A and B are shown apart, each in its own frame.
Chain A
Amino acid sequence: DGGITQSPKYLFRKEGQNVTLSCEQNLNHDAMYWYRQDPGQGLRLIYYSQIVNDFQKGDIAEGYSVSREKKESFPLTVTSAQKNPTAFYLCASTLEGSSYNEQFFGPGTRLTVL
């Protein structure tokens, strides 16, 4: 089955800790995206990558970092610099990054800061 997997499903973090969220896809998609979802605010773009070893900041990149060492993988690190990290995080991918292509989403990771 082709798709996007995210792990873990739930993640708890103490203040001051960095955590890394995993995102893997076996769809052979070129472009991958990370979104943050908060109630009543829709989805906001954190980072995106259109090709291996290259990525760009989205609208709310501060306090986050990413890497794209393999086409299939796009991990997101939530650093201690992120002031309010508790949220639902969604990873997505699309075939070429063209604006008409559907984005396919993973099931999400819910991060809670204790």
Chain B
Amino acid sequence: AQSVTQLDSQVPVFEEAPVELRCNYSSSVSVYLFWYVQYPNQGLQLLLKYLSGSTLVESINGFEAEFNKSQTSFHLRKPSVHISDTAEYFCAVSDRSSNTGKLIFGQGTTLQVKP
């Protein structure tokens, strides 16, 4: 079984400051890792994912996440946030050997960017 823990429920930060949203997972099997973003009253959108290869993955809007196997973490970072980044962010994992496509989500972290 897998579980995902997002260590911060809310992260307030000022515009143009750096931010890190933390994600740790527990799993007895190899996993794929995902970050999704949810803007208010909307569905989720994929931000980035780690499947294999380089442990540092990037999104088109400046976010990056690094897979750390020894620490079972997949923290999300952005060097300079914008007001428009205000949203809820979900970390998720899936079992590499599964053919169901099931995702296990963390509790979510609300990023509040202040002017």
> A: which residues have CB within 8 A of B?
4, 31, 33, 40-45, 48, 50, 56, 58, 90, 92, 94, 96-103, 105-108, 110
The reply to whether A48 and B43 form a contact with Cβ atoms under 8 Å apart is no
B49-A99 in contact (CB<8A): no
Q: Top 6 nearest A-B pairs by Cβ distance?
A: A105-B43, A97-B101, A99-B94, A42-B105, A43-B105, A105-B44
Question: Beyond A48-B100, A48-B102, A100-B32, is A107–B95 a contact (Cβ under 8 Å)?
Answer: no
Residues of A within 8 A of B9 (CB): 40
Q: How far is the CA of A110 from the CA of B99 in the complex (A)?
A: 30
Interface centre among B96, B98, B99, B100 (most CB of A within 10 A): B100
Q: Is the CB of B42 within 8 A of A45?
A: no
| Residue of A with least CB distance to B91 | A42
Are the CB atoms of A108 and B43 closer together than 8 Å? yes
Contact with A along B87-115 (1 / 0, CB 8 A): 00010001111111111011110000000
Q: Beyond A102-B34, A103-B101, A103-B103: 11 further Cβ-contacts under 8 Å?
A: A33-B101, A43-B103, A45-B102, A50-B100, A94-B101, A98-B101, A99-B95, A99-B97, A101-B101, A105-B45, A108-B42
**Number of CB contacts from chain A to chain B under 8 A:** 77
Q: Which residues of B contact A40 (CB under 8 A)?
A: 9, 107-108
Residues of B within 8 A of A99 (CB): 32, 94-102
| Nearest chain A CB to B55 CB, angstrom units | 16
Q: A residues within 8 A CB of B102?
A: 33, 45, 48, 58, 99
Shortest beta-carbon distance from A70 to chain B in Å = 19
Which of B6, B44, B94 neighbours the largest number of chain A CB atoms within 10 Å of its CB? Answer: B44
Assess whether B7 is interfacial by the CB under 8 Å rule: no
What B residues does A101 contact at CB under 8 A?
101
CB distance from A110 to the nearest CB of B (A): 8
State how many angstroms separate the Cβ of B61 from the closest Cβ of chain A.
Answer: 16
Q: Does B83 belong to the interface (CB within 8 Å)? A: no
